[in-house]
Structure 1
């Protein structure tokens, strides 16, 4: 994409938007050592070395990324060395081009300076032979990245293999290998739209309005979007018992009204392992000043089945919940916390949905800490099975302490997490587990406070949950936009009620929001790049205000759907907007021609056929979003092997990284252009 200059809004100053450069193709197969063979050793890698020495090769969880790294320990040495090398057979040894040089990268720890990068090459006439030792790696107690460039590839060499050698007493741990061709031409896709579309994307507002207020949005594996309103924050509808749900079909731009059995206004919801949607709690009653009660939560719960497009009741929960969380676990069970109870006070009862029994468990079957987690607490599943409360919530101040914490359900231990700035002004901030989920990094953006009603803030905090003592660190400020009256924001003015959507190219689309409680929409949208921890401002802004009670969700074709806006005057905007990101106009999109199987198992290798070269493959969990919150949103990288147009996609063996359920499978080419998704079910 060419550099472009565009105006972000009428009368706005011009800003320069530089599209992210596509990353060069990593030629290393199983680069993160995550896929293990029957012998427990990483596929495409072999134990190697020679001489008189005592040694061990061990796959260890002390990894730079993911769950696996390779440890070599030498306890006695008279001669020789030991190394982990790429297999010389099949597609494991990278193909190379004569006359080119290649950049080799590895993350490592070593206790000995007797560590070196070693290369072998395959010559067409002479076969495999030792080529050279490159950079020696200094002692490093923490993971350190080493990058070295090869000599020029000889004229008759077609493959190389390489690894890291240890030739002294000590311990070497390696992970996350890379090999790229700096001479690889950068793809320059031809823009098929206007200059602004190719750098900022564009919006379409549907001519037909939704028959239900879009307070909750759930993308079904049928491709349709469930828009749940219940009474929709309308006391008249509640009094009349008029509750609504709409089903939107992006393929036809049509809506269907769905009979709604209860007031699911501000319920919780989550995608279950089989693709049904569990909807829990909701509104038992609106505030009644005469009896001193506020909103009251329901115990009732329902399943929406995409096959029948209808709700059916489940057993009741143990307590009422209005604004509850809902997080699916690696087992397929669901944990739910918080909200307001039947007496309008904060609910301290934890709830657990049993995947095996298809029901809510009784009070005595659920581990209770009797803790109040607030309203819609963002509870993200970590790779070790614990939950991370990000500090994003709804209505007023955050929880006591630091405002964020790690919760171990099995032991009941709650550990404060430091670093979240202005924890009592993160009301209706947005939190998202960044791509790839294997990196375990969470972004928390913006927020305000509906009680004190200051200007919403621009704060962005980032945390690495793989750290032994994780803590938030400051990220870049949220880009500033334009206020409700068209004036530019100033100083620290930011927004609450915003949405963050994971896109198939690995970026996060940030859109919508308002400066104050239920008022003053902000015109601003940006892209966040987790590879550089930077925002690209100046994305096209939604023509419709999206503040309180607004939602955004990724569609299988790569567009983003937004709905809802409920200002303090009680009105509601029922228009639907569709955003086409810049990649929609960047040229021909890669295509997934076929998927050998749609039912995937953990730790498997799945065969997918594409129509040409691709650089990456990703699973994205479909949205179940409300109030800036979708704690189950995640994008999981799929390491791959390539045989022509046939990909072997390596599925994680850890269900905590990708909880069971339906996912959108995307492939992306070297220019960062994604395919349309295919649906697969992981179990």
Structure 2
């Protein structure tokens, strides 16, 4: 029997007003929402306490939303933080998707926003599950309403808790946003007393440009020395150095002599440390483990026979490279040989490897599974098999629900049968075609990237050709929203065209393969390198892709060194981009190193991360940092492990801000390890002009 309730001393309307006044007073007094003095003091949320209801009995300016296969209820409850009503969502059974109550997407209810400005959002909540997230949508004046991001995850709590988060700068072409709290697990979520206040106004123009050309195009510098090994595989280590793996370096004579090479390059002083290399790791797979060591799998057992009747053969060998000692240590063999295998980390830190050629030179259909806890490849009876052929270096991107998205990017020849892209559920053993990929048989050494931020779950696939047929590489790009109920690729903007050796411009549909895509700390993607034909015709072109507008900014400075087959580009911890490699059809190899300084490095002083309270971060935690100046955005970027236009683990994870005082910031860490698999990340912050800090290293998980 419920306890007796006291007779109210005030009317419901007066109680609601006093409750809101008290809540606002607490926010301003305790500092839960910190705003500059000039910021707006009007709550931009319509019906923030959900007290006003419409004829359907649901709060006005709010709507029931969500997707997927689940059993749920959405309504109001008298268990309110203030007033007499709160929103209540209960999921009783869940196969997929989520449920949420969102502000209505219309001109009267959705808060108005200004491009480049930031806003503090807050909500009171209770939940029986940790599967909750604040969810934002934005209205693009050209493309309409679309998902923006989940800026914070909310832990379970039986008592009322308060969450505040600052949005990133409002993207271009955005005039309104809506938001709410979603629940994506079985349980109950109650929310009340929403608030949204203007926090930071965007600067009218970027300030402090030190170089007009640099500010618009960026600049390349070719180092006055060359690499001591062929940079076929590149891994950025958590000490800021770069692991360059060549093995035999695509040189049959080196293979015959047993000359296998690896070096550790230090960008800070231009030095190289040679590393003893046990076998031919040429065209192996590699991925960084959660402890910062590098798992290297497979490689080259033998080159093709002289008569061409037998092709490359894959190794079963596997090693762990330790950056602390610069040594390889052998672990147990894989189940099958893999030459050109994939390597994708799962949310639990385990590794799945697929594809490549086996010990007998035929396609490997065996799935190999590495247990992070046991530090070994699992035996056959513990590894789930589909016996599917995934091709060579299949790009397998981890999705937020733990499944793998095969993007269609691969190496050599045609795409896979069917649509050329698919979703692979390792646990269920299912493979589902994903439609929409253009020219699926001409995506050889295209590249795919999980667009910033990872929370949006959008993948961009760029360029590609067909090394077997010699087809001219194309300009096609494709974008997919993996959060959609039925994901499918949509055509993206055409890849900008460049010039060929000698200055001849590309024409028509001429694009490039061997392309590199690098997620930058300002949330854009740098596109560089490539060639128009198989191991021939380097293309000199670079651009920056903006995920908020789905457009390429063409005309970036171009790498003066050709970058075709066996080339890579990747982000350094200081915010610059390093490019290595070029192995044209005449069997030469370019060992020059190029470094690109993006435009943001010419736009004034860089903010600095002064302190990081803790460098070991737990999922769902709040981490405090201090900076030397105001910042508008923070992110975690996973360090590169790239080869052959393939780095499926590359990701930029948004760290929504809670401002706690002058240059004291709390960062909200995702609670979903599938969004950011465990390991070392580069922590960047940037200011209102988009200028990033030098990264600090933090360990997640």
TM-score calculated relative to the size of structure 1: 0.78
Matches within 5 A, 1:662-681: 662-681=680-699
The residue aligned with 1:98 is none
Counterpart among 294, 309, 321 of residue 326 in structure 2 = 309
Matched, 1:417 2:434: yes
Deviations along 1:328-362, one digit per CA (max 9) or x if unpaired, are 00000000000000000000000000011000001
Q: Deviations over 1:532-563 (max 9, x none)?
A: 00000000000100000001110000000000
Counterparts of residues 41-80 of structure 1 (less than 5 Å): 48-50=49-51, 73-74=75-76
Cα distance between partner residues in 2 of 1:107 and 1:188? 37
Determine the C-alpha separation between the residues in 2 that align with 1:208 and 1:370.
46
Cα pair 1:270 1:326 within 8 Å, conserved:
yes
CA distance in 2, matches of 1:425, 1:322: 21
Give CA deviations for 1:28-58 in whole Å, capped at 9, x if unaligned.
979xxxxxxxxxxxxx9999455999989xx
How far does residue 198 in structure 1 lie from its aligned partner after superposition?
1.1
CA displacement 1:138-192 (0-9 Å, x = unmatched): xxxxx95799xxxxxxxxxxxxxx9999xxxxx9999999755796542421111
Q: Is the 8 A contact 2:408 2:443 kept in 1?
A: yes
Unaligned regions of 5+ residues in structure 2, if any? Answer: 1-30, 35-44, 89-99, 113-143, 149-176, 181-188
Contact 2:63 2:104 in 1 (8 A): no
| Paired residue secondary structure (1:526) | strand
Match of residue 631, structure 2, among 611, 614, 622: 614
1:469 aligns to 2:471 (yes or no) = no
Q: Following TM superposition, by how much is the alpha carbon of 1:114 offset from its aligned partner in structure 2, in angstroms?
A: 14
Structure 1 residues 118 and 494: alpha-carbon distance in aligned structure 2, compared to 1, 3 A threshold: closer
Q: How far has the Cα of 1:75 moved from its partner?
A: 8.8
- The answer to whether the aligner puts 1:650 opposite 2:668 as a matched pair is yes
Aligned to 1:190: 208
1:596 maps onto 2:613 in alignment: yes
Which of 214, 223, 229 matches 2:240? Answer: 223
Matched, 1:108 2:102: yes
1:25-424 equivalence runs, <5 A: 48-50=49-51, 73-74=75-76, 82=85, 108=102, 116=109, 144=145, 180=198, 184-193=202-211, 195-290=212-307, 292-424=309-441
- Paired residues in the alignment total 573
Could you tell me how far apart the structure 1 residues matched to 2:606 and 2:449 are? 26
* 8 Å Cα contact 1:435/1:530 also seen in 2: yes
Note closer, same or farther for the CA distance 1:358–1:181 as it changes in structure 2 (3 Å cut): closer
Show the counterpart of 1:451: 468
Q: Partner of 2:224: helix, strand, or coil?
A: coil
- 1:300 Cα deviation from its structure 2 partner: 0.1
SS at match of 1:208: strand
SS at match of 1:207: strand
Distance in 2 of aligned mates of 1:589 and 1:114: 38
In structure 2, C-alpha distance between the alignment counterparts of 1:283 and 1:313, rounded to whole Å: 16
Q: Give 1:540's aligned residue.
A: 557
Distance 1:411-1:539 versus aligned 2 partners, 3 A rule: same
Assess, with a 3 A threshold, how the Cα gap between structure 1 residues 223 and 63 changes in structure 2: closer, same or farther.
farther
Check conservation: 1:71, 1:172, Cα contact below 8 A. no
Does structure 2 retain, via aligned residues, the 8 Å contact 1:430–1:628?
yes
User: 2:50·2:193 contact (CA, 8 Å) conserved in 1?
Assistant: no
SS in 2 for 1:424: helix
Superposed CA offset, 1:555-584 (max 9, x none): 000000000000001000011110000111
Distance (Å, rounded) in 2 between the aligned partners of 1:257 and 1:60: 61
Distance apart, 1:289 and its partner CA: 3.9
The change in CA–CA distance for 1:451 and 1:619 in structure 2 (over 3 A counts) is: same
Deviation, structure 1 residue 292? 2.2
Q: TM-score under structure 2 normalisation? A: 0.76
* Alpha-carbon distance between aligned partners in 2 of 1:278 and 1:258, rounded to the nearest angstrom: 15
Which residue does 1:99 correspond to in 2?
none
Per-residue CA distance 1:591-618 (angstroms, 9 max, x = gap): 1001001100000000100111100100
Q: Is the 8 A contact 2:63 2:101 kept in 1?
A: no
Structure 1 unaligned residues grouped into runs of 5+: 1-26, 31-43, 65-69, 86-105, 120-142, 148-161, 166-170
For the residue of structure 1 that corresponds to 2:381, the secondary structure is helix
* CA distance in structure 1 between the aligned counterparts of 2:242 and 2:225, rounded to whole angstroms: 15
Q: Is the 8 Å Cα contact of residues 65 and 102 (structure 2) preserved in structure 1?
A: no
What's the counterpart of residue 13 of structure 2? none
3-state SS of paired residue (1:680): strand
By how many angstroms is 1:452 displaced? Answer: 1.2
How far apart are the structure 2 equivalents of 1:487 and 1:215?
A: 28
| RMSD of aligned alpha carbons | 3.7
- Post-superposition offset of 1:212: 0.5
